[in-house]
């Protein structure tokens, strides 16, 4: 339930009304005026609940979601893996319990806002003449959470009965890492028992009429390279100073960055297919009371990089590049990953997702189960 690296769009206004409504399951009658205003009013209610980090009003959001669940006759539980941080889990039981379930996830919390920069109050859920709804979380991602619920409402009204169980999770702390919500849920027995086959979660807002589907995300790979070299007087020219060695690496990394960026600019690859590399810190120099000692070449220097690798990236060749070009021992350089464990976990996750998806065989040949997926 992490997200694509650039899914942090926090624009103020959302989707046009028709767009919102068109997400409701296709093939069903377009909602009547009366239904429309009820649907929008429920969305507004949710937007008006102040679930802004760092202290979201979980009590109100929980109450609201439970009342929605109740009106839809969904089973519900509130699970506090961490006290005060509720995960709301709703269930629409399927008719065939032997089939794995579907999980639709969303988060209840939203990022902070600066009210003075808004044309309408961020918690007001104001609708302008064009049908734009203004509210923090209207895109990220209260809209989606409500759309799940509204779709269920429509399906229930139509008499639809799912074969697979459908779960909805509303997690509390996605905007600050998801450690107390989604992460705890994913490792819980509750989750194991849910027997989930497919999870749908947050994506990117779209500025046109296309809905883009994302099936993978960039894994962060935080690299710190360090260089060591003989210290020396600032006036002396000599090889293999720590700074010189580090600069060679930085140059090489910059060339790689440019080559990836060129592919993107030329339209040969998309954002999710290139490896992004950005230098995020430089640490070197010998401090003095007024800044840095200016006539000494230091014996150590280091730099940090935020690398984002798509699941399709050739990881072995990237690792080789780091060992041989970016931080070679032959130049007295060392490197470490600040989050390598996390990174590997990401690979495992993608491995299992890709494996599961590519070997998936629909259980029945009738249209219903295919539509469902």
Ligand X SMILES: *[C@@H]1O[C@H](CO)[C@@H](O)[C@H](O)[C@H]1NC(C)=O
Contacts with ligand X, residue ranges (CB under 6 A): 50, 52-55, 123, 228-230, 240, 245, 331-332
Catalytic-role residue among 2, 109, 180, 201: 109
Nearer to ligand X, 230 or 373 (CB): 230
- Laid out side by side, the sheet with 333-337 consists of 276-284, 300-309, 219-228, 333-337
Angle at 159 between CA 155 and CA 161, to 5 degrees: 75
- With beta carbons less than 8 A apart as the criterion, state whether 133 and 43 touch: yes
Shortest distance (Å) from residue 15 CB to ligand X: 23
Residue 175 marked in a binding site: yes
The H-or-E segment that residue 305 falls in is strand 300-309
Shortest distance (Å) from residue 55 CB to ligand X: 4
Shortest distance (Å) from residue 360 CB to ligand X: 41
Nearer to ligand X, 195 or 299 (CB): 299
Nearer to ligand X, 167 or 170 (CB): 170
CB-nearest residue to ligand X: 240
- With beta carbons less than 8 A apart as the criterion, state whether 185 and 171 touch: yes
Nearer to ligand X, 135 or 229 (CB): 229
Catalytic-role residue among 2, 150, 173, 174: 174
- Polymer length in residues for the chain: 373
Shortest distance (Å) from residue 371 CB to ligand X: 41
Shortest distance (Å) from residue 370 CB to ligand X: 43
| Euclidean distance between the first and the last CA atom of the chain, given in angstroms as a whole number | 19
Q: How far is CA 68 from CA 41, 76, 106, in A?
A: 13, 10, 15
CA dihedral 277, 280, 304, 255 (to 10 degrees): 40
**75: annotated active-site residue:** no
Cis peptide before 57 (omega within 30 of 0): no
**109: annotated active-site residue:** yes
CA dihedral 226, 230, 234, 238 (to 10 degrees): -110
Q: How far is CA 288 from CA 294, 296, 360, in A?
A: 9, 11, 63
Nearer to ligand X, 31 or 121 (CB): 121
CA dihedral 175, 177, 178, 184 (to 10 degrees): -170
Nearer to ligand X, 20 or 335 (CB): 335
Instruction: Dig out the tokens for 128 from the structure.
Output: 């302008």
- With beta carbons less than 8 A apart as the criterion, state whether 108 and 70 touch: no
Residue 140 marked in a binding site: yes
Residue 302 marked in a binding site: no
Nearer to ligand X, 147 or 228 (CB): 228
- With beta carbons less than 8 A apart as the criterion, state whether 214 and 204 touch: yes
Shortest distance (Å) from residue 331 CB to ligand X: 5
CA dihedral 89, 92, 95, 98 (to 10 degrees): -20
Q: Determine the Cα–Cα distance for residues 220 and 343; give it in Å rounded to an integer.
A: 7
Angle at 94 between CA 92 and CA 98, to 5 degrees: 140
Q: Determine the Cα–Cα distance for residues 204 and 173; give it in Å rounded to an integer.
A: 18
Shortest distance (Å) from residue 238 CB to ligand X: 9
Residue numbers belonging to the annotated binding site for Zn(2+): 107, 140, 175, 202
Q: Which residues are catalytic?
A: 109, 174
Question: Residue positions in the annotated binding site?
Answer: 107, 140, 175, 202
């Amino acid at each position: 339930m992490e997200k694509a690296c650039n899914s942090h769009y926090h624009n103020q206004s959302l989707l046009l009304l028709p767009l919102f409504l068109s997400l409701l399951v296709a093939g069903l009658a377009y909602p009547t005026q009366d239904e429309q205003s009820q649907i929008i009013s429920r969305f507004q209610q949710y937007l008006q609940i102040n679930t802004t980090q760092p202290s979201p009003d979980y009590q109100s959001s929980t109450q609201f979601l439970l009342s929605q669940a109740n009106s839809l006759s969904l089973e519900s539980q509130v699970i506090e893996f961490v006290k005060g941080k509720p995960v709301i889990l709703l269930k629409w039981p399927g008719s065939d319990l032997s089939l794995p379930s579907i999980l639709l996830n969303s988060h209840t919390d939203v990022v902070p806002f600066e009210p003075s920069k808004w044309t309408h109050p961020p918690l007001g859920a104001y609708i302008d003449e064009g049908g734009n709804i203004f509210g923090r979380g209207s895109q990220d991602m209260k809209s989606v959470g409500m759309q799940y619920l509204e779709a269920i409402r429509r399906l229930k009204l139509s008499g639809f009965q799912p074969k697979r169980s459908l779960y909805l999770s509303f997690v509390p702390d996605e905007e600050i890492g998801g450690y107390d919500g989604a992460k705890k849920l994913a490792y819980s027995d509750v989750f194991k028992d849910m027997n989930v086959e497919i999870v749908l979660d947050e994506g990117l807002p779209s500025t046109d009429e296309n809905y883009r589907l994302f099936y993978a995300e960039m894994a962060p790979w935080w690299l710190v390279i360090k260089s060591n070299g003989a210290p020396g007087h600032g006036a002396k020219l000599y090889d293999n100073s720590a700074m010189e060695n580090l600069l060679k690496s930085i140059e090489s990394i910059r060339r790689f960055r440019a080559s990836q960026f060129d592919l993107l600019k030329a339209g040969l690859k998309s954002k999710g297919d290139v490896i992004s590399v950005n230098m995020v810190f430089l640490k070197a120099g010998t401090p003095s009371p007024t800044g840095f000692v200016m006539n000494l070449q230091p014996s150590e220097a280091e730099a940090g990089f935020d690398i984002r690798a798509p699941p399709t990236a050739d990881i072995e060749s990237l690792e080789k590049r780091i060992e041989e070009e970016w931080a070679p021992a032959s130049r007295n350089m060392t490197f470490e990953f600040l989050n390598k464990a996390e990174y590997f976990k990401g690979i495992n996750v993608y491995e299992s997702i890709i494996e599961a998806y590519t070997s998936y065989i629909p259980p029945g040949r009738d249209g219903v189960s295919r539509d469902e997926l």
